[in-house]
């Protein structure tokens, strides 16, 4: 007689047991193999982990995660193929779905004026500038976009790069060094951490949005370093909350530090006119030394930018490796972002509707008893559901019900904080938002 594994156990208990086993196996992969050594014949004895990608610890962890999902009977929710424009709605596997997995906050990706601008740029300049901008890749669109961004932030100038992630990596990695200190919110984006590691500076984090803890840290540490950079985000994309920026500006001033704010998710979202956290708090442009943002969300292109004083921007244009040695942003992308910026300014109703939708969704979720963490309802609302297995099952079940929302799983978040992350759009209707909450509420009772 064959006995089935976990026979007689409930599904939630089986998920918990398998999840614990998965976590143990993942921790085991963190133990490094023995170092390379020479054998008696002088031939190098090198562990497979050091000379085979299939034995690389990162790949081994990935295989364990895939195996764990298979044993739990969970289909992967990642790399879902969208068959057209993704906004408040999308098309997956030939079926129209309600979409909450897009950064197209204001519905400008696919806007007629934005598409027309991109097509015109291709006609005028082609699809690539085919060189770094300092060599022969400069085009009028680059300068027009940078001028518009500088005007938006009230700064001297701005610089646009081909990747948002690479913007943080190259700017932080270039401007700071081994005698400096970089302090950041514990939930800061990976690109900031990568930039700090590249710089060689000492890196320290402080508890999420805790300005008092940062103040205490700098009171102890500031005088041990030359330059100090504080890095925050305008809106934290995992939690949908934001820092008390004036408090951090005061700390920046008292401790004589640089302050950098990553506005990837707050431009187009915060402030009456959507111009970001600066407008929300009514702070002066110069109160923040480095304004960073991306072109791929509200501005419906692809790339990153820095806005700030002339000395900063000129320095980056001539010396930052990620700009100096990279091709310039492609003409259609620059044109799309510039047109999106103009739409943002010409159509403020989009911002008002996005903010209304976020508040409405958050209120309905809380009324339904859902755990939305610290979200403020500005574009990003997580629903924290517990374990990764449960979050994945819920995501797949939501898709079956015609609603696309992605799970955020361990180790991206602590295992007990796995969640479904809802991105709002100005194009969602109240009825669609209410429907999503109703469907999720029913599924939470089942899973």
Active site residues: 237, 265, 297
The H or E element that residue 262 is part of is: strand 258-262
Contact 26, 61 (CB under 8 A): yes
Q: What is the DSSP letter of 120?
A: H
Q: How far apart are CA 29 and CA 12, in angstroms?
A: 26
What count of residues does the chain have?
447
- Answer for the pair 185, 205: CB distance below 8 angstroms, yes or no: yes
CA-CA distance, 238 to 411, in Å (whole number)?
Answer: 13
- Residue 143's H or E segment, with its range, is helix 140-153
Cα 78 to Cα 362: distance, rounded to the nearest angstrom:
25
Distance CA 286, CA 249 (A): 10
What strands lie across the sheet with 89-92, from one edge to the other?
A: 89-92, 95-99, 403-404
In 3-state terms, what secondary structure has residue 45? strand
SS3 390: helix
Q: Which residues have C-beta within 8 Å of that of residue 441, sequence separation ≥ 6?
A: 368, 370
180-216 per-residue burial string, b: 16 or more CB within 10 A, e: under 16: bbbbbbebbbebbbbbbebbebbbbbbebbbbeebbe
DSSP lists the bridge partners of residue 382 as 421
Is residue 148 within 8 Å of 346, Cβ to Cβ? no
Contact 77, 396 (CB under 8 A): yes
Instruction: Give me the torsion for CA of 248, 219, 230, 257, rounded to 10°.
Output: 90
Nearest to 332 by CA among 206, 81, 162: 162
**Which tokens in the block code for residue 163?**
């990747």
Q: What is the DSSP letter of 306?
A: E
What whole-number distance in Å separates Cα of residue 49 and Cα of residue 60?
10
Contact (Cβ atoms closer than 8 angstroms) between residue 303 and residue 295? yes
DSSP-derived pairing of the beta strands 406-408 and 418-423? antiparallel
């Amino acid at each position: 007689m064959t006995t089935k594994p976990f026979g007689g156990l409930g599904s939630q208990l089986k998920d918990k047991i398998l999840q614990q086993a998965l976590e143990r196996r993942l921790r085991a992969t963190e133990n490094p193999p023995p170092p390379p050594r020479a054998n008696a014949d002088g031939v190098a004895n090198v562990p497979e982990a050091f000379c085979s990608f299939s034995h690389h610890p990162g790949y081994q962890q990935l295989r364990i995660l895939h195996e764990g999902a298979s044993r739990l009977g969970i289909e992967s929710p990642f790399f879902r193929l969208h068959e057209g424009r993704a906004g408040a709605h999308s098309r997956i596997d030939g079926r129209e779905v309600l979409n909450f997995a897009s950064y197209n906050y204001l519905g400008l990706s696919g806007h007629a004026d934005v598409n027309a601008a991109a097509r015109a740029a291709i006609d005028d300049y082609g699809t690539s500038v085919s060189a770094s901008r300092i060599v022969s890749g400069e085009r009028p669109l680059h300068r027009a976009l940078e001028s518009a961004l500088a005007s938006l932030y009230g700064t001297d100038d701005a610089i646009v790069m081909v990747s948002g992630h690479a913007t943080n990596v190259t700017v932080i990695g270039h401007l700071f060094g081994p005698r400096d200190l970089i302090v950041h919110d514990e939930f800061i984006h990976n690109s900031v951490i990568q930039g700090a590691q590249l710089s060689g500076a000492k890196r320290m984090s402080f508890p999420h949005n805790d300005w008092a803890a940062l103040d205490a840290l700098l009171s102890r540490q500031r005088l041990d370093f030359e330059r100090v950079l504080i890095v925050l985000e305008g809106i934290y994309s995992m939690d949908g909350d934001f820092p008390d920026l004036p408090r951090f500006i005061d700390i920046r001033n008292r401790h004589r530090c640089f302050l950098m704010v990553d506005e990837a998710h707050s431009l187009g979202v915060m402030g009456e006119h959507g111009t970001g956290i600066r407008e929300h708090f009514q702070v002066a442009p110069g109160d923040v030394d480095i304004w960073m943002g991306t072109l791929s969300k509200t501005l419906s292109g692809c790339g990153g930018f820095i806005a700030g004083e002339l000395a900063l921007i000129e320095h980056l244009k001539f010396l930052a490796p990620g700009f100096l040695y990279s091709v310039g942003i492609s003409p259609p992308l620059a044109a799309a972002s510039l047109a999106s910026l103009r739409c943002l300014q010409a159509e403020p109703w989009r911002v008002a509707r996005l903010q209304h939708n976020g508040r409405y969704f958050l209120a309905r979720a809380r009324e339904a008893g859902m755990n939305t963490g610290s979200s403020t309802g500005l574009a990003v609302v997580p629903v924290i559901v517990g374990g990764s297995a449960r979050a994945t099952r819920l995501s797949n079940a939501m898709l079956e019900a015609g609603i696309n929302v992605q799970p955020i799983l361990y180790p991206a978040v602590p295992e007990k904080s796995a969640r479904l992350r809802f991105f709002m759009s100005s194009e969602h209707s109240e009825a669609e938002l209410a429907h999503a909450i109703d469907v999720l509420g029913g599924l939470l009772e089942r899973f």
